[in-house]
Amino acid sequence: MDAENRIHLALNAAVLKLLRPLCRLLLRHHVPFAAFEELAKHTYVQVAMEDFGIPGKKPTLSRASILTGLTRKDVTRLAADPAPERAASDEGYNRAARVLTGWSRDPEFHGADGQPSALPLLEGANSFTALVKRYSGDMPARAVLDELLRVGAVQEREDGRLELITAGYVPRSGETEKLGILGSDVADLIATIDHNLQHADTDPRFQRKVMYTEFPASQLPAFRKLSAAQAQALLEKFDRWLAEHADSSLPQDSAVPPMRVGMGIYYFEEPMVPVSRKGQ
């Protein structure tokens, strides 16, 4: 078997593995195969047109048809259709996250000890309303507050002031918000793996995990607690570094556009499937 066939077999096995949890999620939400197929076709055409053009030449429908294996009629229809709109929850997630990040970083909303202050809802330039206006534009402060209270990122004190509990926005309920995170976080991981497949020798991106099998279930609560605390501390350290070096007043290379950059950490666990012995 030549190298190309081995790569195709490995790719097929990888795609089958990553499709399994995705299909489980789609079926749970009653998404039929036809709907998934249409999304896949649209994405195939979009990527072919935007990412696989010939340098110096305008992308063509005929080339997209050849690359994707779709008929020219299908490619023409899909290219003319507007891209599926981003879920509204995605924008809501970004706005809520920006408010929390601004509260944790902006010294105008900090006390003398350098920590985020408890804020009044309305009064003054250092109020929660002012914070929302600065970091979330025209979003009503009450709507942002209700969401942050709902997910437990903020709490209201007896004196009426609002206190920051965590700078991380993780929806506790409401599947639309969590599905928005699914789209962004899994896409980032796949993009990193794809980058490393192409540039591992010259420009690798960090991609590691630690995993044990046959791990005793009795020790899971301790590891959940340890991993959550250590991961949160590491992410906060990265966040502080990024904030210090993201100053817009620092000199920028005009030839290189600003970049989106970050680091993600995730936890996983699942039961081990017993391997049947031969003859049983």
Supply 253's token pair: 């290379």
The fraction of the chain above a pLDDT of 70, given in percent, is 85
pLDDT of residue 235: 87
DSSP 86: P
Gap between the Cα atoms of 162 and 50, Å rounded: 45
pLDDT digits (tens, 9 = 90+) for 238-252: 888 887 787 665 666
pLDDT band with cut points at 50, 70 and 90 for residue 85: low
Domain residue ranges in the chain = 88-164
Q: What number does CATH give the domain 88-164? A: 1.10.10
The answer to whether 168 and 100 are in contact (CB under 8 A) is: yes
Please tell me whether the overall predicted TM-score, pTM, comes out greater than 0.75 for this model.
no
Quickly state the pLDDT bin for 280 (edges 50, 70, 90).
very low
Greatest alpha-carbon pair distance for the chain in Å reads 77
In angstroms, the CA 154 to CA 167 distance is 9
Angle, helices 175-199/88-105, rounded to nearest 10 degrees: 80
Q: Are strands 162-164 and 154-156 parallel, antiparallel or unpaired?
A: antiparallel
Give the number of other Cβ atoms within 10 Å of residue 102's Cβ: 18
Condensed to tens digits (0 to 9), the pLDDT of residues 1-49 reads 788 889 889 999 999 999 999 999 888 878 889 889 999 999 999 999 9
Q: What is the pLDDT of residue 269?
A: 92
Q: Can you give the C-alpha Rg of the chain in angstroms?
A: 24
Average pLDDT, the chain: 84
- Looking at per-residue confidence, does 123 or 171 come out higher? 123
* Residue 235 C-alpha from the chain's centroid: 14
Region 46-59: mean pLDDT is: 89
